[in-house]
Amino acid sequence: MASWSNINIQNSASPLMEHLIFFHDNTMFYLSIITIFIMYFMMNMSINKLINLNLIENQIIEMIWTIIPSIFLINIALPSLQLIYLIDETNHPSITLKIIGHQWYWSYEYSDFNQINFDSYMIKNNDDLSNFRLLDVDNRIVMPMNTQIRALASSYDVIHAWTIPSLGMKMDAMPGRLNQMSFLINRPGMFFGQCSEICGMNHSFMPITLESINMNYFIKWIKNY
């Protein structure tokens, strides 16, 4: 979870987020090389104004500044394309979670279990230090880990965005449209997110809390709900 001393990406809790972190680090590596290279030449040109007098035509330099950027672009584009297809992959989900955005709370429905649906409101700020300010909710999503899950998102009124950064999940919830993503949680814990689409006055007060547990505990939770 983010804190004042942590400005990095959140620790991954899904294979999708691991791929996103790898793509981010890979891209930043190439961007750093390009930035240092360009700044070096800009400084040289600003210090020595005669550096470009003899560069009337040079085929070798033109080949270098064409081929090297092409290699960088290929190394950025291929992992990006892989991620696009990975995000769209459904992979035979075992559980379906239906998500509906409202102004300003979330509704959830476990489509595989007829009687399980609830609204999720943010817990108001109080002196209870066991709650996470502006992140904890009265009804948490409970999901089993190491299980393929399909999420279906829609909206009752305006456009919302269901987002959990540590799972690599960001899905628009649009009225009259059903969007789909699949994910797998690879460790137990509580994961927090918020609406990422400006949806009105209380946009900042519709958090998401997902609790990942063992499959046996999840079955008990279903039976006792």
Q: Given a cut of 60, is residue 127 above it in pLDDT?
A: no
Q: Are 79 and 133 in the same domain?
A: no
Between 177 and 7, the more confident residue is 177
* Rounded Cα distance, 150 and 94, in Å: 8
**Is the pLDDT higher at 176 or at 6?**
176
Indicate if 62 and 137 belong to the same structural domain.
no
Verify that 128 and 20 share a domain, yes or no.
no
> What distance lies between CA 213 and its chain's CA centroid?
21
Verify that 100 and 185 share a domain, yes or no. Answer: yes
Mean pLDDT lowest among 52-66, 103-117, 137-151, 163-177: 52-66
Task: Name the domain boundary from 29, 61, 88.
Answer: 88
Cα dihedral sign, 215-217-223-225: negative
What's residue 144's pLDDT?
Answer: 92
Domain count, the chain: 2
> 106 with 81, same domain?
no
Distances (CA, A) of 117 to 34, 132, 140: 51, 24, 11
- What pLDDT does 49 receive? 65
Amino acid type, 49: K
Is the pLDDT assigned to residue 3 strictly greater than 80?
no
Final residue of a domain: which of 55, 88, 121?
Answer: 88
Between residues 116 and 57, the one the model is more confident about: 116
pTM of this structure: 0.78
N-to-C CA span, the chain? 28
60 and 121 fall within a common domain: no
Residues 128, 217 within the same domain: yes
Of 49 and 168, more confident: 168
- pLDDT confidence of residue 47: 77
Is 60 exceeded by the pLDDT of residue 84? Answer: yes
% residues pLDDT > 90 (the chain): 23
The answer, yes or no, to whether residue 1 has pLDDT greater than 60, is: no
Average pLDDT, the chain: 84
* Residue 10 in domain: no
> What stretch of H or E contains 78?
helix 59-88
Residues 108 and 59 in one domain: no
Report yes or no on 158 lying in a domain: yes
Domain residue limits at 42: 15-88
What gap in Å lies between CA 58 and CA 91, rounded to an integer?
Answer: 52
pLDDT at residue number 50: 63
- The radius of gyration of the chain's CA atoms, rounded to the nearest angstrom, is 23
Nearest to 22 by CA among 89, 80, 87: 80
Least confident of 63-72, 87-96, 113-122: 87-96
Check residue 105 and give its pLDDT.
Answer: 92
